Structure 1
Amino acid sequence: MVSEWQFEVPTAGSKHLPPDARYVEALSSQGYGFDVAVADLVDNSIDAGAENVVVHFLRDGDQLVSLVIVDDGKGMNEDQLDVAMTVGGRRGYDKKSLGMFGTGLKSASLSHADSVTVVSRTKRTRPVGRRWLMERAKHGFECDIIDPDYAQDFVDFYQSRPIVFQGTIVRWDGVKDFPKHGGGGQTDRYLHRTVNKLGLHLGLYLHRFLAREDFHITISVQDVRTGVEYANYGVEALDPFAYPVSGDPAYPSAFIVTIPALEPIRLDAHVWPPRSSLDEYKAFGTVVDREGFYFYRNDRLVQAGGWNNFRQPEQHLALARVAVDLPNDPEAEIFRLTVKKDGVQASAEFVGSLEDAKDVHGRTFAEYLVDAERVYREARKHTGVARKSAVPPGRGIDPHVRQVIEDELPVLMHEEPLQFRWQKLSNDKFFEIDQEAHIVLLNQHYRAALLGGRGGSLNDLPMVKSLMYLLMQDAFQRERMGSRLKDNVELWQSVLIAAARAELDRMAD
């Protein structure tokens, strides 16, 4: 029994405990989103000095077969490639590198593919290649050496697209996100959705690089048998601060956070103009997601929105965005970047110092937030109509629809979101309401007819669900339904049942 507290824990030697091979499986299960994983590979291209990066979706007819990311950076020789393919391998990151942990290439790739192949060449060396197979990586860290002739052929395939004298190719096979069966237009729908979303993500998080004249990202779709290129998109910069006129003439303004023993941290505070329709304002996330801090590390956006425990997000601050360039001092430990580079953990010292941050005019950071909220509220008053607050939209409603709802309506942030689910119900009911759980149950019996033969999904039938969301607001903002509301619910039930049965009759004809 310890009689008094010991400040140092005594030891009796040490023991070498190497990681189990299943560590690779754990590494690849960190929740990388598809867009985040691709962006991580593009980071490597930027670190390699690439001027051109191509994200290449390869299809064989209706079936997607591979994803390839190609750059014209300085490339790697055999020793450098071995380090790059080593889990946790360090490759001499300098202060301006976007890479940090030596895991991005492997964890990002194996999160989404059964195998990752890397082929690279420098100006002075022949192409070399390595491949990780997930099944083999899990059982013994055995990395395949790519046949030199294939490595040369692979580089030749991308000659001038964009490789000229040097560059690197990363190939994903067995991509988990790809449709398993591409018929019936599934592949085309997947590509339309994915290419657009990926372009927005890369355009946002790498917007400072894309704004330069010497850096370009292209997303291409090509058939491997015919060589036909179905699409070729240049990714455009999506600057979250690119408004034409500030929402408040007093902003942007720089606030300085002072923390003992550290260089001052600058916060560039902006107020967007209200009701903007620009993609830079509306194209990503929801209103609440978009407000707050935008942290940059070496010009790469690593967090887009959020208040990092400084305060709770709320719709009235939808116009407030603050750009922060993270200090390059790894010893500071004021900010910790996630391995996926999709968020920042800010220390209590930073959050506490925000209260004392001021700009050159003596305004406090708290006063900036008041100004941003005032601009938002005044814009709402000038519409001449005070819209009634709504229960927030939740699961089952298409994310784009949720975003518009949150843009257009004051949302009750402390209410549980309203969800939609399909369930087996009596055929004389189109829906049921669970007031306590904030759920609208839709009758599974009518789902196929309403979809018209298309496949169902969590967010299917956005038109039906959006109309029901608007109709149901009173039902979910009252503890009990009065006689008038009950009568309205019965009316909606009757009309919707008649419409659903009409759809069934049409499908039978």
Structure 2
Amino acid sequence: MVSEWQFEIPTAGSKRLPPDGRYMEALSSQGYGFEVAIADLVDNSIDAGAENVLVHFLRDGDNLVSLVIVDDGKGMDETELDVAMTVGGRRDYDAKALGMFGTGLKSASLSHAASVTVVSRTKRSRPVGRRWLMERAKRGFECDIIDATFAQDFIDFYQGCPIAFQGTIVRWDGVKDFPQRGGGGQTDRYLHRTVNKLGLHLGLHLHRFLARNDFHITISVQDVRTGVEYANYGVESLDPFAYPVSGDPDYPRTFTSDLPGLGPVRLESHIWPPRSSLDEFKAFGAVVERSGFYFYRNNRLVQAGGWNNYRQPEQHLSLARVAVDLPDDPDRVVFRLTVKKDGVQASPEFADSLDKAPGGAGRVFASYLTDAERVYRDARKHAGVVRKAAVPPGPGLDTQVRQIVQEELPMLDHEAPLQFRWKRLPTDKFFEIEQEERVLLLNQHYRAALLGGRTGSVDDAPVVKALMYLLMHDAFQRERMGSRLKDNIDLWQSVLVAAARAELDRMADS
């Protein structure tokens, strides 16, 4: 045990410890979401001055084979490409660049693909290409040099769409997210779901760029053998503050938080009109989770909602959204951006400064939250709707359905969620409830009929489960079920069993 604490730690020299090849595997295991990874690559295109970006899904019949991102930016020569493909490669980022750490291209790509190939050309240089193949990278950071003829052919393939004189192509092969078996319409369903989510994500996080006349993103699906283009979508700006009329005539209003060592930070505070059906309000996740701070760095949205330890998300604040353009903070004393650019960590000083941040006319930021709550509550009162708090929906119910339930009903605080499970039950029962465990059991015997022959999953049969939740959530709030509720349950059992048996008969006849 040391007799006295030493503030300075003495050293006796140093030695170089280069990373093991497995570092590449660790780099690719940072939890990049699919849409977040694509957005990171589009950031690079924006930094390169691109006006057009193509996200190209390539299929061979029913099988998806590659994903390609193409831009008409300034491109890279051989030296610049080597730096770009080096993990943590040192380069001088422009003050307004979206890139920061020199890892995004590699970690985002190899999180989702077995290999990433980059081919690029500038106005003054020939096409050059490099490839990271995960298996080779793990053996010692061995990066492949792409054949010059292939690099030229690859550039020519996208000549005019969108590459004109210069540009960059990023190609993913062995994409982990792609369906392994494309038959039975699985590929079409995957593409429909994925293209929609990707378009919403890019539209939201890059909405300031997409609102300009000189920047466009296209998502396309094409067959590599026939050349048939199955789909071609232009990504539209999805501005989270684009309401037609404010929910309160005193807003938007700008409050100013004064942070030591950083200076003033402007908080542009908005109140959405209640019960809006616009995509800008409700198309990208649970509304309650989208309230809070919208942090921008160089016009790129890097956090869409959340209160950063200032408040907990709650239904009454669902109309409140605050735009914050992050100031220059080179030492990251107050604001630290995650490597994936999908969130901001704010110091405790930021949260502490908010309540009293002035906004003119004697208002402070705390009063803004009060106003947002008032608008929400008044809308409920004027509609004559006072909905009873409900048990939260839990595992087994589709995520999107759960989000809508939580938006439409006030949730009981600190209550365990209601779970849904399939179990073999007597054939005269459609469901059972385990009240203390908060589990609603559905009869496995009728599962195939309810799914219409589709493969089951944890959150399957969303319509049936949603209806069961609406019927039964009240039963889980009672210590004892009264005679009226018991009679209703008997009624529901009889009707649902008859309907499920009728569905089984239809399946047998067909």
Q: Would the TM-score normalized by the shorter structure come out above 0.5?
A: yes
Query: Which secondary structure does the structure 1 equivalent of 2:355 belong to?
Result: helix
1:352 to 2:322 alignment: no
Query: Which secondary structure does the structure 1 equivalent of 2:263 belong to?
Result: coil
Query: Which secondary structure does the structure 2 equivalent of 1:189 belong to?
Result: helix
Q: Deviations over 1:205-263 (max 9, x none)?
A: 00000001100000001110110111110000000000011000111111100112222
Distance 2:44 2:382 in 1: 48
Contact in 1 for aligned 2:127/2:152 (Cα 8 Å)? yes
Matched with 1:406 is 406
Query: Which secondary structure does the structure 2 equivalent of 1:214 belong to?
Result: coil
Name whichever of 440-449 and 81-90 sits farther off: 440-449
Which aligned pairs between 1:371-390 and structure 2 lie closer than 5 A?
371-390=371-390
Contact in 2 for aligned 1:262/1:332 (Cα 8 Å)? no
Matched with 1:417 is 417
Name whichever of 401-410 and 335-344 sits farther off: 401-410
Structure 1 unaligned regions, length at least 5: none
Matched with 1:14 is 14
Q: Deviations over 1:326-371 (max 9, x none)?
A: 1122124201111111111110111111122111222111100000
Matched with 1:136 is 136
Contact in 2 for aligned 1:57/1:64 (Cα 8 Å)? yes
Change (3 A) 1:135 1:422: farther
Matched positions, count: 509
Query: Which secondary structure does the structure 2 equivalent of 1:54 belong to?
Result: strand
Structure 2 unaligned regions, length at least 5: none
Query: Which secondary structure does the structure 1 equivalent of 2:259 belong to?
Result: coil
Distance 1:479 1:31 in 2: 42
Q: Deviations over 1:35-57 (max 9, x none)?
A: 00100000000000000000000
Matched with 1:32 is 32
Change (3 A) 1:172 1:332: closer
Distance 2:116 2:468 in 1: 45
Q: Deviations over 1:114-154 (max 9, x none)?
A: 11111000000110111111111222111111111000000
Question: Structure 1 residue 408: deviation in Å?
Answer: 2.1
1:268 to 2:265 alignment: no
Which aligned pairs between 1:191-210 and structure 2 lie closer than 5 A?
191-210=191-210
Distance 1:271 1:257 in 2: 19
Distance 1:95 1:458 in 2: 47
Aligned-residue sequence identity (percent) comes to 80
Change (3 A) 1:437 1:288: farther
Change (3 A) 1:54 1:390: same
Matched with 2:120 is 120
Matched with 2:42 is 42
Which aligned pairs between 1:68-147 and structure 2 lie closer than 5 A?
68-147=68-147
Name whichever of 198-207 and 454-463 sits farther off: 454-463
Matched with 1:290 is 290
Name whichever of 411-420 and 223-232 sits farther off: 411-420
Which aligned pairs between 1:64-463 and structure 2 lie closer than 5 A?
64-463=64-463
Change (3 A) 1:431 1:297: same
Distance 1:177 1:208 in 2: 28
Question: Structure 1 residue 28: deviation in Å?
Answer: 0.8
Contact in 1 for aligned 2:117/2:132 (Cα 8 Å)? yes
**AA paired with 2:27?**
L
Distance 2:332 2:85 in 1: 29
Distance 1:367 1:269 in 2: 11
Contact in 2 for aligned 1:314/1:413 (Cα 8 Å)? no
Question: Structure 1 residue 64: deviation in Å?
Answer: 0.8
Distance 1:152 1:94 in 2: 29
Distance 2:413 2:137 in 1: 45
Contact in 1 for aligned 2:418/2:473 (Cα 8 Å)? no
Distance 1:100 1:479 in 2: 56
Distance 1:160 1:326 in 2: 37
Q: Deviations over 1:162-213 (max 9, x none)?
A: 0000000000111111111111111111111111110000000000000011
**AA paired with 2:133?**
L
Change (3 A) 1:447 1:12: same
Task: Give the CA RMSD over aligned residues.
Answer: 1.4
Question: Structure 1 residue 423: deviation in Å?
Answer: 3.5
Question: Structure 1 residue 426: deviation in Å?
Answer: 4.2
Contact in 1 for aligned 2:114/2:173 (Cα 8 Å)? yes
Distance 2:90 2:497 in 1: 63
**AA paired with 1:298?**
N
Name whichever of 130-139 and 269-278 sits farther off: 130-139
Question: Structure 1 residue 435: deviation in Å?
Answer: 2.8
Change (3 A) 1:17 1:443: farther
Change (3 A) 1:149 1:423: farther
**AA paired with 1:70?**
V
Contact in 2 for aligned 1:387/1:409 (Cα 8 Å)? yes
Question: Structure 1 residue 4: deviation in Å?
Answer: 1.6
Contact in 2 for aligned 1:291/1:321 (Cα 8 Å)? yes
Distance 1:133 1:268 in 2: 45
Q: Deviations over 1:282-338 (max 9, x none)?
A: 101102111000000000000000000001110000000000011122124201111
Distance 1:35 1:239 in 2: 17
Question: Structure 1 residue 452: deviation in Å?
Answer: 1.1
Distance 1:78 1:196 in 2: 36
**AA paired with 1:226?**
T
Name whichever of 41-50 and 471-480 sits farther off: 471-480
Question: Structure 1 residue 413: deviation in Å?
Answer: 4.3
Query: Which secondary structure does the structure 2 equivalent of 1:178 belong to?
Result: coil
Distance 2:42 2:416 in 1: 38
Question: Structure 1 residue 416: deviation in Å?
Answer: 2.6
**AA paired with 1:251?**
Y
Length-normalised TM-score, structure 1: 0.97
Distance 2:102 2:434 in 1: 49
Question: Structure 1 residue 272: deviation in Å?
Answer: 0.3
Query: Which secondary structure does the structure 2 equivalent of 1:222 belong to?
Result: strand
